Structure 1
Amino acid sequence: MRSHTLAVLPGDGVGPEVTRAALTVLDAAESRFGFDTRRTDVPLGADHHLATGELLTDEATAELDRHDAILFGAIGSPRVPPGILERGIILELRRRMEQAINLRPVRLYEGVPTPIAGLTPERCDLVVVRENTEGAYVAQGSSVHVGTPAQVAVQESVNTWYAVERAVDFAYRLASVRRGRLTLCHKTNVLVEAGKLWTAVMESVGERYPDVETDYVHVDALCMHLPVSPERFDVVVTDNLFGDIVTDLGAVLQGGLGVAASGNLNLDGAHPSMFEPIHGSAPDIAGRGWANPAGACLSLAMLLGHLGEGEAAAAVEAATAAVLAGLPAPGGEAMGASTQELCERIAAAVADDATPEVPGSLMAQLAAVAAGRAAEG
């Protein structure tokens, strides 16, 4: 039997609720597809920080590093000042684990309501590949003359050929197993030096993928095109900050933050990749059963695809999409069912092999890309 090791970071707020839901769905996938996971809970988040003063310690890093993948819920609490948990755990974890890519699909599933009038699933199926370790998120900066009218804040943005090339190469690989189109999103008319580097990397790496069609769009133009004509895009590659912003806009198209998934990918297998819904910890609804587990379940599907469990990944995606299609609303009390009830429905649909696979499943495509990289390595 195939076996994988999984570190589980439930986190804060609704994080534990949606993570439990995803693990229930994972149980169903294991039973149907003949693999297993050995799971370890790792206590990182607000409660642990407030009790111990710890963020991401060397010991916790070593524990995570012993696993094949990480399933993450959400981090954040009004009891901890903004930036402490985010920088001290999330950004630090991405850096230590060399999670070079933040991968976020923007897909509208059949039957899921969207606020964009006239938008159909056929028109909304793209993936954003976000460089995940640099840009404005290197967390380097300084302030002087604090507390005076002369206060100055400097926040650094860093771009290296090495990190940009990793993101761009992965984006080309993904485009080559999808519809063969890759768009660079940046702001080259203002961020001139960074833009030059990104453009040069695109041209250099593109020589290895002659069958992939490429184009360029400014980030502000992308924010205009995305709600109006998302069908223009297949795979989009962009820097850390731009990727963070445009994918939240993308989540609106697909039904809201509660149904959006993401993966933080280590590309060489030296450290585990981490998968998480893109919604926050939502402490205002924690414990009420109002959190939609779809984002966590779709993140689980990405995790399975990355581990090479392509059939299970596609089944979890299909089951989640089928249950989403039957909801009167994508989140909150108006969903008409609790977090636990929804996860049980998704798990039952995974167990039922009559649930049709989503056409052009990203989860299966991830498995294909992972297999190609393994063959090369």
Structure 2
Amino acid sequence: RKLLTVVTKSNAQRHGMVMWDEIAAEVAQEFPDVQWDKMLVDAMTHRMTLHPQTLDTIVATNLHADILSDLAGALAGSLGVAPTANIDPERRFPSMFEPIHGSAFDITGKGIANPIATFWTAVQMLEHLGERHAAALIMESIEYVCEKGILRPDVGGSANTAEVTRAVVHYIDAKADIAETA
């Protein structure tokens, strides 16, 4: 699908967000094959919760996207499974990729963090860098590990952080061994 939803709060933030809306409309004219709509950030939480199938790609300010990405993670079942990115599409400045749960220093070293979001974030970064094969391999390993039920308790499993990580790495190593012998 080619649906872009632009998130705003121009009804309350009359300066910066009005300009955001104007720029979105201006840029949209350059891409007539992309359908787009505009939604207030508070209404967007409702839409994401009750009508997620009506969404494809969301563009928002860093503040709004930070909040909405946490909601998206919760809707997916856990903050531990979703990646996020701040991308400079013109590639003039570095893009930033991170799990939506952030650093989570409060659980560092406890073996309870879900590493799936970190791996998925690496997939997004590799895709952005043009490393499609490496990105696909990591994504394939994530899907395999999830299908096998090697999951953290936040998504219904019983594995710890190291066990999930080892399973992902083992899958990648096995695929690399197969590629070397082929």
Mapping for residues 1-377 of structure 1, pairs under 5 Å: 179-325=1-147, 326-327=149-150, 329-331=152-154, 335-351=157-173
In the other structure, the counterpart of 1:133 is none
Structure 2: 5+ residue stretches without partners: 176-182
How many pairs does the alignment contain? Answer: 174
Give the whole-Å Cα distance in 1 for the aligned partners of 2:23 and 2:50.
Answer: 29
Give the whole-Å Cα distance in 2 for the aligned partners of 1:228 and 1:187.
Answer: 20
- CA separation of 1:268/1:210 partners in 2, compared to 1, >3 Å: closer, same or farther? closer
Shift of 1:338: 2.2
In the other structure, the counterpart of 1:42 is none
Aligned residues of 1:255 and 1:330 also touching (Cα < 8 A): no
Structure 1: 5+ residue stretches without partners: 1-178, 354-377
Q: Deviations over 1:241-277 (max 9, x none)?
A: 1111111101111121111112233444455433221
RMSD: 2.3
Which structure has the highest helix share of the two? 2
- CA separation of 1:268/1:203 partners in 2, compared to 1, >3 Å: closer, same or farther? closer
Aligned residues of 1:290 and 1:335 also touching (Cα < 8 A): no
Using the size of structure 1 for normalisation, the TM-score is 0.42
- CA separation of 1:266/1:204 partners in 2, compared to 1, >3 Å: closer, same or farther? closer
Which structure has the highest strand share of the two? 1
Aligned residues of 1:182 and 1:235 also touching (Cα < 8 A): yes
- CA separation of 1:229/1:322 partners in 2, compared to 1, >3 Å: closer, same or farther? farther
Aligned residues of 1:290 and 1:331 also touching (Cα < 8 A): no
Between 1:222-231 and 1:320-329, the stretch displaced more is 320-329
Using the size of structure 2 for normalisation, the TM-score is 0.83
One-letter amino acid matched to 1:349: Y
Shift of 1:349: 2.8
Give the whole-Å Cα distance in 1 for the aligned partners of 2:88 and 2:38.
Answer: 26
Give the whole-Å Cα distance in 1 for the aligned partners of 2:107 and 2:30.
Answer: 48
Aligned residues of 2:152 and 2:160 also touching (Cα < 8 A): no
- CA separation of 1:194/1:246 partners in 2, compared to 1, >3 Å: closer, same or farther? same
Identity of aligned residues (%): 36
